[in-house]
Amino acid sequence: MIGKTRQVDTEPRGILVPQFAAGSFRHERLAPCAELAAFVEHYWFVGWDMQGHPPQQQETLPHPNVHLVVENDTDGVYGVHTARYTKQLAGQGFAFGVKFRPGGFRPFLGRAVAQIADRRLALCEVFGTAGEELVHQVRRATEAAQRAATAEAFLLARLPKPDADVERAAALVAAVAGDPALLTVDALAAQAVMDKRALQRLFQQYVGVGAKWVIKRYRMHEAVARLQGGDSGSLAQLALDLGYFDQAHFIKDFAALVGKPPGEYLRQLHRAAER
């Protein structure tokens, strides 16, 4: 059984609303067992109670990951979502998910992960009728650890054979996430000692989106994290640090993904902190 001692203790990235003005919101992440660690990044659970309060809007930036999600009233396998994800939280509810490592869902799906980008598949489309039973079991559970243990047993029973390309894809995405100075596909291909076309094929087959998309999204994750962390530097310097030639292009990309310019987003964070 997965317990609290296995909780993931690193800070999640990409959550645009770190705190709400009213109501309660709980977020937990649990690590997978060693046998699934090559395929699963972590299990996650969010629960909210907005009863007596207006609905609150949560927004998250996209990650290059496939998710298996079970909520109160819906479920599915979600391919990489390429835009900002927005959800209205009202009343009481929960969502439980399996966040697969970049590349980690390819052996379960059996085809190019790019084919399900920005799509939702019913669990039965991937796992047959057993997927429907998994949904029932997750909804019957009352704790995040119980839900994670249920999903873990389900995946262990379908453990894929080792696939070197799973680890290769995950390692390349991790390199992008961990090095803000890695700014181009050419640089990534050189670091990986791979032909650029081979790199792109690997990303389409295993990650589900192109390498350029991954690089740009992680630079936006870095921008949001630095603003949330109280970065006192100028936006011009932040743009330069993230590989932009000028501040205007950075602001345009930030606003397109986050929904507002960085200055407005920073003011929003300050207002929330003052409440």
What is the number of alpha carbons within 13 Å of residue 143 lying toward its C-beta? 8
Inform me whether the pLDDT recorded for 100 exceeds 50. Answer: yes
Residue identified by tokens 């076309």 is 197
Is residue 2 very low, low, confident or very high in pLDDT (cuts 50, 70, 90)?
A: very low
Beta strand residue intervals within the chain, DSSP E: 24-30, 40-49, 56-60, 67-71, 75-78, 85-89, 92-100, 120-121
pLDDT band of residue 160 (cuts 50, 70, 90) is very high
pLDDT reported for residue 67: 97
- Is 55 a residue whose pLDDT tops 60? yes
Q: Which of 10-19, 33-42, 261-270 is predicted with the least confidence, judged by mean pLDDT?
A: 10-19
Pick the range with the lowest mean pLDDT from 115-124, 161-170, 260-269.
260-269
Complete domains list, the chain, with CATH: 4-156 (no CATH), 164-274 (1.10.10.60)
Kindly state the average pLDDT of the residues 20-49. 88
Considering the entire predicted model, what is its pTM? 0.89
Question: Strand, helix or coil at 93?
Answer: strand
Mean pLDDT of 222-228: 89
CB–CB of 64/41 below 8 Å? Answer: no
pLDDT tier at 232, thresholds 50, 70, 90: low
